[in-house]
Amino acid sequence: MAAAESTGRTAALVPAAGRGERLGPGAPKALRPLGGVPMLVHAVRALAASRTVDLVVVAAPEDTAESVASMLSEQSFPAEVVVVTGGDTRQDSVARALLTLPDDVDVVLVHDAARPLVPEELVTAVVAAVRAGHQAVVPGLAVVDTIKQVDASDAVVATVDRSSLRAVQTPQGFTRSLLQRAHAGADLDEAPATDDAGLIERMGLPVHVIPGHEEAFKVTRPFDVVMAEAILARRRAAGAV
């Protein structure tokens, strides 16, 4: 496979405009604290820490975009950070962030604010895989539970062969041109894609999976907050943060 020309900058888009309904009542999820620091700040720190990311574009909830911008401007990150207004769906939030990219960006990551503890090594590995010539890259983990398909009345229809399944995470990485084509061509009558690689698959194009990381899990339900706090406490005890 031919290596992508690696002359441009790398940007990370961070969809952060969700409400966090499954987490229960409270502030938008990305702004809820973990170890006293908003999830979004953890996520931006991890992306910037990889040093492969030059620019971070955060898609914030419309009603809090200004306060998010001022909150982030008080932090110092080793990357440029920009805030835009997100949309009604994750796909829309990513599309809006994508539109704001400067011309010199040629590789784009998309990373959920709701995956605040992603190790910087995973960020670096995704960028490296794109720069090595894979146009669409996702981190994935083997599925540990037995997966059953059910019908509308919860009767089991089949047990799915889990050896061929992967639970995919973010950051997902793309050449800018492919991600732009995928979003520009997205059929808005179809259900929005829950990840960006899904749009590439709809185009019939290949998506490459690299090993994911357990700590890149998505904070979705209250249990995940307990897990995230425990991981942070362990990192702090080890002097890693």
Nearest distance, CB of residue 215 and ligand CTP, angstroms: 16
Output the CA angle 133-90-8, nearest 5 degrees.
Answer: 30
If contact means CB under 5 to 8 A according to the sort of partner, which of ligand CTP, Mg ion, none does residue 19 touch? ligand CTP
When asked if residue 188 is in the footprint of ligand CTP (CB under 6 A), the reply is no
Measured at CB, which residue is nearest to ligand CTP? Answer: 18
Among 47, 58, 59, 125, binds ligand CTP (CB under 6 A): 59
Q: For the chain, where are the alpha helices, taking DSSP H only?
A: 39-49, 65-73, 90-99, 120-131, 176-184, 196-202, 222-237
Asked whether the beta carbons of 46 and 119 are under 8 A apart, the reply is yes
| Interacting residue ranges for Mg ion, rule: CB under 5 A | 18
Nearest distance, CB of residue 6 and ligand CTP, angstroms: 28
Residues between 9 and 38 that touch ligand CTP (CB under 6 A): 15-22, 29-30
If contact means CB under 5 to 8 A according to the sort of partner, which of Mg ion, ligand CTP, none does residue 103 touch? none
How many Å from the N-terminal Cα to the C-terminal Cα in the chain? 38
Cβ proximity to Mg ion: between 18 and 87 the closer is 18
DSSP code of residue 36: T
Nearest distance, CB of residue 58 and Mg ion, angstroms: 16
Residues between 78 and 107 that touch ligand CTP (CB under 6 A): 86-90, 93
Backbone torsions φ then ψ of 225, nearest 5 degrees: -70, -40
What CA–CA distance (Å, rounded) separates 70 from 90? 23
Strand positions, DSSP E, 87-224 = 105-110, 136-142, 147-150, 156-160, 166-168, 172-175, 208-211
Residues found in the chain: 241
Residues between 113 and 132 that touch ligand CTP (CB under 6 A): 113-114
Nearest distance, CB of residue 159 and ligand CTP, angstroms: 27
Measured at CB, which residue is nearest to Mg ion? Answer: 18
Which residues make up the interface to ligand CTP (CB under 6 A)?
15-22, 29-30, 59, 86-90, 93, 112-114, 218, 220
